[in-house]
A and B are shown apart, each in its own frame.
Chain A
Amino acid sequence: MKERQKTMTPLMNDGYDGEPAKRVLSYMQAQKEQGRPIVGIYCGYAPIELIQAMGIVPAVLRAFSKVPIASAETVLPANICPLIKSSYGFILEGTCPFFAMSRAVIGETTCDGKKKMFELAAKVKPLHVMDLPQLADEPEARANWTAMIRKLQRFLEATFDCKASDQEIETAIQGTNRKNRLMRKCFDYAAMHPPLINWQEMYDLGFLALAATADHMTPILVAVLERLENRLSQGLYFSRADAPRVLVTGCPVGGDALKVFRIIESCGGIVVAPDACTGMKAFTGEIEEDTGDPIQALARRYLDIPCACMTPNGKRLSALSELIERFKPDAVVDFVLTACHAYNVESYKIGRHINDHHGLPYLKIESDYSDHDEGQIRTKIDALFEIAKN
């Protein structure tokens, strides 16, 4: 076991390490300069492959800063999740560069809060809401979601005056699958003991990889994998071998919410599996290729996303079990954003599954984007690690 070298080469080494938003902004600007139109998205259910096949660039809209929340609270109730307030605050203040660049926005009927917020946001820019089924396991769900993706296609055709053939969508699907395979190879380095990649690096990668094309990401990921191999051969690890390995599940984590990762690290732990739509979740699974109906293939894959807005969401339990198998965490932290009813009610089931089925200690953290509860979170994480050590 060797200590981490202070001269470890940054993983992406493009001058933006640790600043994923700036990196993506620069990518978006380059796309814009090349004449490609931009559509704003909020959620992992937005079918990236369809958007890319049409030559449109998907931009994940800002939702993780506490700064615009005060503006949002002049119109929205204070007692809703910070992600929704932040998103809307950015729109009200006009401070999200991605929103400004987007000709239109795609939303989904995931949770109540988003649904109602979209009604207000639609007054500012064309906003197409996809009607997401709530029972993903039912046979009707696939047919319904397929119809919704086709409806989105018609909206994009009308708004952006571009089309995509089935073949082009198929190409995009295959691209995503290649991209995701490479991403998963990067995550393999987090499965090592100790891990060779940390949460900030995985977050940086994911932030860009979500929206960027396979062609753009492939050379980047190949270089990253080389560097990771280098670290392995030089024994450059991110933590001591006995640092508690943590799987963080739950709500999307970004911006000011990254405090949960920072606190875990400062308590001596290491995040080996950030499982959320902002983390590994987006890159698991393959979209079926060469089915003859790429839209339906997309529908099938996207309905597999184990979000708590789905009921009964058994897939989340099996996805967690797979992650535990692969990354061998010592403890699980379930990060629930304040007022997120779906993840909050579900947390009871998750806790029982982690405790009873996997014999691992589990901690739910309910928090928002503010920094006043850092001390309390720290205490809880310390206590979690004490339990994990026993």
Chain B
Amino acid sequence: MSESYRGMWSALGLDLTAHDALLSVLGKAYQDIFLAQKSRPEAMGYFDFVMSEVHGLRIKELLDEKAAGRKIIGSYCVFVPEEIALAANATLVGLCSGADFATEEVEKLLPRNTCALIKSSFGFKLGKVCPYLESADLIVGENTCDGKKKAYETLGTLVDKLHVMDLPQVKTAQGRDLLKSEYIRFKTAVEELTGVAVTAQSLKQAIETVNAKRRAILRLFALRKADPAPISGLDALLANQVFFYDNPARFTESVNKICDELEQRIEARQGAFPQGAPRVLISGCPQAVPNWKLPFIVETSGAVIVGEESCVGERGTRNLTDEGGETVEEMLEAIVDRYFKVDCAIFTPNPERLAHIKEMAAAYRADGVIHYGLQFCQPYLMESMPVEKALEESGIPCLRIETDYSMEDAGQLKTRIEAFIETLK
């Protein structure tokens, strides 16, 4: 990224030295992990560009939008409804929480045995290295898991404006009512922030924009059913991650371009991996930017990842918002219905998730499932054993992984993953 951004970063209050170090590590990691891959679709060049400018051009775009009157809202979870933000003239960006940073500082505020994703979000704030965090006019926290719920009590003291969204824990009518009232409260908060009211027209447009993004990524998912897999899991994960913070229309267009190329590859029987390579479905905790650890290990061990049953993945994008509503009320109901379907492990019970994992394993012709749980993530780790058992009973091999962001256990993970892949061959 060019020197011209330094002024911008400085104005945002970033710690330039720490930020430089972060960018350099990220740059090297990207090279070693993504650029070292063979047989990548050419259209992935768009994402290479996006990542090279992730703290540069995209931030500049957002700041320019701000100057023109838009507001930036940062969020940590797929339950925050992008449609409502867009309809009120705000841009929603997903905040990175995929790498360890400023751990010593974080552990003064959070217990050491807190999941890496939560600690990372604190680390980026305390380390002053995330321009998205610093340029956001509002940050949204959400009461998903215990760790996040309690951590937001402290995050609220570190950021200017934190809006905590409560979420239901049970999928009942009462739970849906809670989600609806929280979405209305969020809508009010965003309207107050931007000074722009949500109208039927703006909401309709917003639904169409987000649905278009979803359709594009779902089209990408469908193309991964082919053998040989036309795109690697690493590249698909990257697209899933960028979904959260790229300009929606541009993202949609770029993903559709990639899909066009993948269709050609499939015609030509061209793959990112050889035909017959063992196919793996990843299921579990979200993999936030720049967490690329698991797919890197899996795909350098000879298997290809053909799907992600995860919020940064199909679980988060599977459903479209119904476009039939005409009034704001009708569209809000459609939005609530859409998000209420997300089968995150914080819900009890959560049988739809198991059904979806099995569906995806069949649809993507996966030879096996790797269940990915972050250490200390109780909801997903507690679901991992019943999921593994159910998959094995259905004849689908499953490997449970529990890990964090450090590279300490890379060797051990590689052994387990290689051993698992050996059983799939």
A contacts, CB < 8 Å to B: 75-77, 79-80, 109, 111-113, 115-120, 122, 129, 131-135, 138, 140, 144, 147-148, 308-309, 311-313, 339, 341-342, 344-349, 366
A residues in contact with B350, CB < 8 Å: 119
B349 close to A119 (CB less than 8 A): yes
B contacts, CB < 8 Å to A: 109-111, 113-114, 143, 145-147, 149-154, 164, 166, 168-170, 172, 174-175, 178, 181, 345-346, 348-350, 375-376, 378-379, 381-386, 402
B residues in contact with A339, CB < 8 Å: 113, 376, 378
A residues in contact with B151, CB < 8 Å: 345
Q: Could you say which of B113, B146, B178 contacts A342, with CB atoms under 8 Å apart?
A: B146
A sample of 27 cross-chain residue pairs with beta-carbon separation below 8 angstroms, ordered by A number, consists of: A76-B382, A76-B385, A79-B381, A80-B382, A111-B146, A112-B379, A113-B378, A115-B346, A115-B348, A116-B379, A119-B349, A119-B386, A120-B386, A131-B169, A131-B172, A131-B175, A135-B143, A311-B149, A311-B164, A312-B153, A313-B153, A339-B378, A341-B114, A341-B145, A342-B150, A344-B113, A346-B150
Q: How many Å from the CB of A71 to the closest CB on chain B? A: 14
With A116-B348, A134-B143 known to touch, is A341 a contact of B153 (CB < 8 Å)?
A: no
A311 close to B150 (CB less than 8 A): yes
Q: Which of B109, B151, B170, B384 has the most CB of A within 10 A?
A: B170
Q: How many Å from the CB of A110 to the closest CB on chain B? A: 9
Q: Which residue of A lies closest to B170 (CB)?
A: A131
Q: Which of A120, A144, A308, A366 has the most CB of B within 10 A?
A: A144
Q: Given contacts A115-B379, A341-B145, could you give 8 more A-B pairs where the C-beta distance is less than 8 Å?
A: A79-B381, A112-B379, A116-B383, A119-B348, A129-B348, A345-B146, A345-B153, A348-B154
Question: In the complex, A109 Cα to B114 Cα: how many Å?
Answer: 20
Q: How many Å from the CB of A233 to the closest CB on chain B? A: 47
Question: In the complex, A243 Cα to B118 Cα: how many Å?
Answer: 41
Question: In the complex, A118 Cα to B386 Cα: how many Å?
Answer: 13
With A118-B348, A144-B178, A341-B376 known to touch, is A77 a contact of B381 (CB < 8 Å)?
A: yes
Q: Could you say which of B169, B375, B378, B381 contacts A109, with CB atoms under 8 Å apart?
A: B169
B residues in contact with A109, CB < 8 Å: 169-170, 348
Q: How many Å from the CB of A78 to the closest CB on chain B? A: 10
Q: Which residue of B lies closest to A118 (CB)?
A: B348
Question: In the complex, A244 Cα to B345 Cα: how many Å?
Answer: 45
Q: How many Å from the CB of B102 to the closest CB on chain A? A: 16
B residues in contact with A312, CB < 8 Å: 153
Q: How many Å from the CB of A66 to the closest CB on chain B? A: 20
Q: Which residue of B lies closest to A107 (CB)?
A: B348
A147 close to B150 (CB less than 8 A): no
Q: Which residue of B lies closest to A76 (CB)?
A: B382
With A76-B385, A112-B378, A342-B150 known to touch, is A144 a contact of B174 (CB < 8 Å)?
A: yes
B residues in contact with A120, CB < 8 Å: 386
Q: Which of B145, B178, B382 has the most CB of A within 10 A?
A: B382
B170 close to A129 (CB less than 8 A): yes
Q: Which of B110, B114, B164, B174 has the most CB of A within 10 A?
A: B174
A131 close to B143 (CB less than 8 A): no
A residues in contact with B146, CB < 8 Å: 111-112, 309, 341-342, 345
Q: Which of A111, A131, A133, A147 has the most CB of B within 10 A?
A: A131
Q: Which residue of B lies closest to A346 (CB)?
A: B150
B residues in contact with A309, CB < 8 Å: 146
A77 close to B349 (CB less than 8 A): no
A140 close to B178 (CB less than 8 A): yes
Question: In the complex, A77 Cα to B111 Cα: how many Å?
Answer: 20
A342 close to B149 (CB less than 8 A): yes
B154 close to A112 (CB less than 8 A): no
Question: In the complex, A349 Cα to B153 Cα: how many Å?
Answer: 9
Question: In the complex, A147 Cα to B113 Cα: how many Å?
Answer: 36
Q: How many Å from the CB of B110 to the closest CB on chain A? A: 6
With A116-B348, A311-B152 known to touch, is A134 a contact of B166 (CB < 8 Å)?
A: yes
B143 close to A80 (CB less than 8 A): no
Q: How many Å from the CB of B340 to the closest CB on chain A? A: 14
B residues in contact with A132, CB < 8 Å: 169
A residues in contact with B145, CB < 8 Å: 112, 341
With A79-B376, A109-B348, A115-B348 known to touch, is A345 a contact of B382 (CB < 8 Å)?
A: no
A residues in contact with B385, CB < 8 Å: 75-77
Nearest 4 CB-CB pairings of A with B: A345-B150, A116-B382, A112-B378, A115-B348
Q: Which residue of A lies closest to B389 (CB)?
A: A75
Q: Which residue of A lies closest to B164 (CB)?
A: A311
A residues in contact with B153, CB < 8 Å: 311-313, 345-346, 349
Q: Could you say which of A119, A147, A348 contacts B174, with CB atoms under 8 Å apart?
A: A147
Question: In the complex, A118 Cα to B346 Cα: how many Å?
Answer: 13
B114 close to A345 (CB less than 8 A): yes
Question: In the complex, A344 Cα to B402 Cα: how many Å?
Answer: 21
Q: How many Å from the CB of A335 to the closest CB on chain B? A: 14
Question: In the complex, A347 Cα to B402 Cα: how many Å?
Answer: 26
Question: In the complex, A377 Cα to B376 Cα: how many Å?
Answer: 24
Question: In the complex, A344 Cα to B166 Cα: how many Å?
Answer: 21
A residues in contact with B382, CB < 8 Å: 76-77, 80, 112-113, 116-117
Q: How many Å from the CB of B380 to the closest CB on chain A? A: 9
Question: In the complex, A119 Cα to B170 Cα: how many Å?
Answer: 12
With A77-B381, A79-B381 known to touch, is A131 a contact of B150 (CB < 8 Å)?
A: no
With A75-B385, A77-B382 known to touch, is A341 a contact of B147 (CB < 8 Å)?
A: yes
Q: Which residue of A lies closest to B345 (CB)?
A: A116
Q: How many Å from the CB of B123 to the closest CB on chain A? A: 15
Q: How many Å from the CB of A338 to the closest CB on chain B? A: 8
Question: In the complex, A116 Cα to B350 Cα: how many Å?
Answer: 9
Q: Could you say which of A111, A134, A348 contacts B109, with CB atoms under 8 Å apart?
A: A348
